[in-house]
Amino acid sequence: MSEQIQTIPYRDSGLDSAERNKVLRNTYWLLALTLIPTVIGAWIGVATGIGRALSGGLGLVVFLVGIFGFVYAIEKTKHSSKGIAVLFGFTFFMGLMLSRMIGMVLGFSNGTSLVMTAFGGTAGVFFVMASLATFIKRDLSGMSKWLFVGAISLMVGSIINIFVGSTIGMMVISVMAIGIFSAYLLYDIKQIIDGGETNYISATLALYMDLINVFQGLLALLGIMGGEKE
């Protein structure tokens, strides 16, 4: 019988401070651990060239099938310890998907520096949004529909640009991704703080997706604007 992950029941009046802090603390710890399979997946992708093979329409199909499949599986298993294993499998998959862009950036003479800058920038965005979520007292639930519309628009634009291959389009999409998912990060952290999300596996998945999109946006911008050819 699998170990059960307790989900604290959500009350109309909200969770008490200790319970909310427990969910937030567990989420942050699990989020930190998800970086390990992500880095491993990215390293394998770059080393084996899998990332380069998954380009264009094929890469899009693999990405969409993988992401929707994993998200479905995580939601189905989030109340047991199996959910953590599936989440780690998903973050490994995302590392593989990231490896194509990382490999391209590493092809620049200053590629390592650009990757580290993107990582540091993403960490900075997380710190700022987490701090804002702590200090903002107003309810941010009204942001959700606007963020959803923005995310859908971004996805459609990204799919179109895969086939168009516009550098300017890529820059616009990257800036939009950084803005939209930074706002999503603020919204998702505030949801946890306010007791609107009580399962730390679901909470970790949401924050992970926000951070991955911010990282990709920053890395793409840095590669386009700051990449130095050898």
Which pLDDT belongs to residue 17?
76
Which pLDDT belongs to residue 220?
92
Which pLDDT belongs to residue 1?
35
Which pLDDT belongs to residue 57?
67
Which pLDDT belongs to residue 143?
85
Which pLDDT belongs to residue 131?
93
Q: Which residue has the tokens 């998200």?
A: 71
Ramachandran class of 16: left when φ > 0, alpha when ψ lies in -120 to 50, beta otherwise = beta
Q: With a cut of 70, which residues of the chain have pLDDT below it?
A: 1-16, 55-57, 227-230
| SS3 category, 80 | strand
Q: What are the two backbone dihedrals, phi and then psi, of residue 150, each rounded to the nearest 5 degrees?
A: -65, -40
Which pLDDT belongs to residue 16?
65
Give me 109's structure tokens.
Answer: 């003479």
Q: What are the two backbone dihedrals, phi and then psi, of residue 87, each rounded to the nearest 5 degrees?
A: -60, -45
Length of the chain: 230
Which pLDDT belongs to residue 63?
83
Nearest of 131, 123, 118, 121 to residue 186 by alpha carbon: 131
